Amino acid sequence: MPKKYKFLDFEEVASTNDVCLIELQKSDIPTAVSADSQTQGRGRNLKSWSSPRGNISYSLGIRSSFIDPSITVKTGLIVIKALKKKFNKEVYLKWPNDLIYKNKKVGGILVESQTHNNEIIIITGIGINLKIDSSEEHWGDLGLDGITKNIKDNFLTYLTDELLHLEKLNNINWCGDWNNSCMHIGKNVSIETRDESFIFLGIDDLGHAKLKNKNSQVEIYNQSSLKVDDLY
């Protein structure tokens, strides 16, 4: 049986994550929030996230006693499977939270949390570019112009049901699925704070990156994002 939740739909909000947080502070009912546009969308490390009208700005909030450390990478896997099922788009993953289509970033995931009354409020924000005009070289979209509200709502309903059953991924080889969907397995990557290059080997069962250094030693990394050669 699908878990019960409420779905709030807006023309415009500052941030769907912020709306979700306010709702979860008032109620323990899982809450999904969608907006046609955001005025203060954000990504990881407080980077701004452009959310022009007509794209997907979505958040899902729940209360829980713990946070799955792999929630971000698992969410990415669920999102690209939903995009394949509903829009027949082959979207790939860049560790830890980017959605890549035709070698351009078309979306991202931001997981935020806050302690509340001995529970943890977990907010998963997802932004997806259906169709945009962008002058930035690494930004792209899915080429889905003119998507109706009914089609978008159908996609978000399906996505919400899948995200509310995130634990189902533990019954399959989700790490293998993620690695197969990653567009930079075996490629050179770099870390902003370290002056050296690594080879990206994939992820472990916590969603951490496995990197091979110049001495062929495997390092586990779980800090900020990585720069991928020939991408960004």
Segments of 39-183 assigned E as strands? 56-64, 92-94, 98-101, 104-116, 119-128
Residues 147-161: tens digit of each pLDDT = 899 999 999 999 999
The whole-number average pLDDT for the span 116-126 is 95
pTM of the model as a whole: 0.92
Whole-number pLDDT of residue 1: 41
Task: Check residue 195 and give its pLDDT.
Answer: 83
Q: What does the pLDDT read at residue 177?
A: 96
- Tell me the mean pLDDT in the region 115-131: 95
pLDDT, position 56 = 94
Over residues 162-202, the pLDDT tens digits come to: 999 998 898 889 999 999 999 999 999 999 888 889 999 99
As to burial, measured by CB atoms within 10 angstroms (0-12 exposed, 13-18 middle, 19+ buried), residue 223 is: exposed
Specify the domain boundaries for CATH 3.30.930.10 within the chain: 6-179
Residue 46 has pLDDT above 60, yes or no: no
- Which tokens is 63 given? 């209360």
* pLDDT tops 90 at residue 78: yes
Sheet holding 227-228, edge to edge: 218-221, 209-212, 197-203, 188-190, 227-228
Mean pLDDT, residues 210-214 taken together: 96
What integer pLDDT is reported at residue 51 of this predicted model?
66
Mean pLDDT of 91-113: 95
The CATH 2.30.30 portion of the chain extends over 184-228
Residue 215 has pLDDT above 90, yes or no: yes
Q: Work out the mean pLDDT of the chain and round it to a whole number.
A: 91
**Distance from C-alpha of 197 to C-alpha of 229, rounded to nearest angstrom:** 10
Query: Does CATH number 2.30.30 belong to domain 184-228?
Result: yes
206's tokens: 């916590």
Alpha helices in the chain (DSSP H): 16-26, 71-87, 149-163, 174-181
The class level of CATH for 6-179 reads: alpha beta
Q: Would the pLDDT of 136 be above 80?
A: no
44 pLDDT band (50/70/90 cuts)? Answer: low
Cα 137 to Cα 124: distance, rounded to the nearest angstrom = 27
